[in-house]
Amino acid sequence: MNYFAKDPGASLDYSFDWNAGYLNGQTVSASGWVAMPAEPGGVSVVSSAIAPTQTSALVTGGVAGRVYRLTNHVTFSDGRSDERQVVLRVEDR
């Protein structure tokens, strides 16, 4: 799991390379992102994208002093699925 600091006013892209290590020719066919905890003014996923072996999300917001977990759940072309997470600590910078 990766840990990052994020300013509440920043809009940043976070991404995963799913090919690293085990895809063996499969591609990403579906991707969903969830930011937790869900709260007013919290971290929000504004948009997301899928490339054959990568996923990304544009993330905004967050309350200074709070920690959020950003989870990406994917389904591969062979029907298997997996998820990865990023932990964001929101800090005024």
Alpha-helical segments (H) within 1-93: none
CATH 2.60.40 fits 2-90, yes or no: yes
The single residue listed with the structure tokens 């990568």 is 54
Per-residue model confidence as pLDDT tens digits over 33-70: 999 999 999 999 999 999 999 999 999 999 999 999 99
pLDDT at 31 over 90: yes
* Mean pLDDT in residue range 26-38: 97
Mean pLDDT of all residues in the chain?
95
Residues 6+ apart with CB under 8 A from 31: 48, 50, 55, 72, 73, 74, 75
Upper half-sphere CA count for residue 51 (Cβ side, 13 Å): 10
Write down the pTM of the prediction. Answer: 0.93
Report residue 20 CA to chain centroid gap.
16
